[in-house]
Amino acid sequence: MIRQEDLREDILNGELTNLFRWFLGLPEDSLSPFPGLMAAGVAVGMLVGFVALSAVFFIWLERKVAGRIQDRLGPTRVGGKFGWLQTIADGIKLLVKEDLIPRDADHILFRLGPYIAFCGAFCAFIALPFAQGWTAYGTGTGAFAIGVFFILAVMSTEVFGIILAGYGSGSKWSLFGGMREAAQMVGYEIPMSLCVLVPVIVAGSMDLGKISANQAGWFWEWYVFRDPFTFVAFWTYFTCATAACKRAPFDLAEAESELVAGFHTEYSGLRWSFFFMAEYAAMFAVSGVAVLLFGGGWHLGLPVWTLVGLSPELSQVLNWPSNVLNIGNAINAGVFIVKCWVLVFVQIWVRWTLPRLRIDQVMMTCIKYLLPISCFLMLGVSLWEVFARPYLGDYFKFVLAGLVLISIIITAMRVFTTPMKLPTPGIDAPWGPRIPAEFTIKRS
């Protein structure tokens, strides 16, 4: 029979199969598939919950940021001062909305599109490590050996859902949206994959957990500062990733000024919200890949945890109980999620700041600029690793990290010291003078 103490250890390690064996009253060497399926179900439930909750948060964030950038307040009413529950209210509205399928649509493809899109984006989370060993697939025995390749592969299936939706709607606006998405994605996947290869070459592994573990310690250990090529690769990757999530300025598939709503013109209700879930899930996933590959993964960049003794490595040396390790991992996961949020915020920021490109400009950006740049980066980083590193040693990263830090400090100082000129007096800016009392919105 399964012993309680072992069970406790297993649960802390994220191995739930034995728990369900015990729950179903099966012996430890039972071959029944059900405990495994149930354990997988728990993992899937946790991931779906996480994806759905982050989507709720991101939609609120999007509206809030958009409001601020456009000199508005954004949602303010539902659920308190900042409109916290706005997305929930939207969700309830979408749930009760009438679910329409146009008469001329291809019914099967129309129904299938949103689910394929969501599955594609969601599957990326299977390989995304949130902390040391916290991966849905490959827990315990080590992370997924080809994690980043897997993520690129499943993210490419998301597009298929969009194209099916565009084609199956039987509407010309949708068809245009679908075609644009197909052309765009087939192009942008290439520079994106090539940029992903840059840190993979540096790390010598496609295992995201290993790549992230390589960047432990101070923030200059992050791959983005490692050499000039990885530095440029980060920005190139992020541009391509923004395009891969079909976010503005690359949201040609939607292009509401020309195509009504692009590929989801004919969608309403729950199916429509699946597209949004997929979009926000993909945003988080590509940001997560960027953080893991370039931005130090789940490491804070200041080795505080090592000093306090909560780092997994140190706790092993000190022979601390494993739940302490899990606390450290939980904090690391928090750091990782916050980093991803920052990048998602940047995507939202870019969306509401830059105008949309034309489709030919989008394709030209990819084929004429991003593709040659990414090829050059891949070649450059290989040559750097072989020829430049033996002579320069590791010192370059201090230079680059220092420069970036100094420029961030200078920018921040200028922003916060320059007096804010308000275009419309009286509306609250993110920083700046307090709103005079007579302008605040009075609540009854």
Binding residues (CB under 8 A) for other proteins: these are: 31-33, 36-37, 104, 106, 108-109, 112, 116, 141, 144-146, 149-150, 152-154, 156-157, 159-160, 163-164, 166-168, 170, 175, 178-179, 182-183, 185-186, 189, 200, 204-207
| Burial (Cβ within 10 Å: 0-12, 13-18, ≥19) of residue 368 | exposed
What whole-number distance in Å separates Cα of residue 38 and Cα of residue 49? Answer: 16
Three-state SS at 137: coil
User: End-to-end CA distance of the chain, in Å?
Assistant: 64
Query: For 309-355, where are the E strands, in sequence order?
Result: none
CA distances from 47 to 53, 64, 218, 255 (A): 10, 25, 30, 30
Give 24 or 37: the residue with its C-beta nearer to other proteins.
37
Residue 186 Cβ vs other proteins, minimum distance, rounded to whole Å: 6
Residue 393 Cβ vs other proteins, minimum distance, rounded to whole Å: 20
Give 206 or 335: the residue with its C-beta nearer to other proteins.
206
Three-state SS at 432: coil
Residue 42 Cβ vs other proteins, minimum distance, rounded to whole Å: 14
CA distances from 133 to 5, 138, 144, 218 (A): 21, 8, 9, 21
List, as one string, the DSSP characters of 71-113: TS----STTTTTTTTHHHHHHHHHHHS-----TTS-HHHHHHH
What whole-number distance in Å separates Cα of residue 171 and Cα of residue 389? Answer: 56
Give 30 or 70: the residue with its C-beta nearer to other proteins.
30
Report the amino acid identity of residue 139.
T
List, as one string, the DSSP characters of 279-303: HHHHHHHHHHHHHHHTS-TT--SST
Angle at the Cα of 172 (from 166 to 177), degrees rounded to 5?
40
Residue 336 Cβ vs other proteins, minimum distance, rounded to whole Å: 22
Give 129 or 166: the residue with its C-beta nearer to other proteins.
166
Record the tokens describing residue 210, joined without a space. 């290993």
Place of tokens 């950006």: 365
Residue 332 Cβ vs other proteins, minimum distance, rounded to whole Å: 23
Residue 263 Cβ vs other proteins, minimum distance, rounded to whole Å: 12
Give 73 or 112: the residue with its C-beta nearer to other proteins.
112
Residue 36 Cβ vs other proteins, minimum distance, rounded to whole Å: 4
Give 21 or 299: the residue with its C-beta nearer to other proteins.
21
Give 7 or 145: the residue with its C-beta nearer to other proteins.
145
Record the tokens describing residue 25, joined without a space. 């009253």
Helices (H) then strands (E): counts for the chain: 18, 0
Residue 153 Cβ vs other proteins, minimum distance, rounded to whole Å: 4
Give 86 or 139: the residue with its C-beta nearer to other proteins.
139
Give 169 or 273: the residue with its C-beta nearer to other proteins.
169
Residue 74 Cβ vs other proteins, minimum distance, rounded to whole Å: 36
List, as one string, the DSSP characters of 209-249: HHHHHHT-SSGGGSGGGTSHHHHHHHHHHHHHHHHHTT-TT
Give 258 or 428: the residue with its C-beta nearer to other proteins.
258
Query: Which residues, 6+ apart, have CB-to-CB distance to 424 below 8 Å?
Result: 71
Residue 150 Cβ vs other proteins, minimum distance, rounded to whole Å: 5
Give 100 or 153: the residue with its C-beta nearer to other proteins.
153
Give 90 or 158: the residue with its C-beta nearer to other proteins.
158
Residue 122 Cβ vs other proteins, minimum distance, rounded to whole Å: 14
Closest CA to 333 of 134, 40, 123: 134
Crossing angle for the helix pair 228-244 and 395-417, to the nearest 10 degrees: 60
CA atoms within 13 A on the CB side of 135: 29
Residue 170 Cβ vs other proteins, minimum distance, rounded to whole Å: 6
What whole-number distance in Å separates Cα of residue 10 and Cα of residue 290? Answer: 31
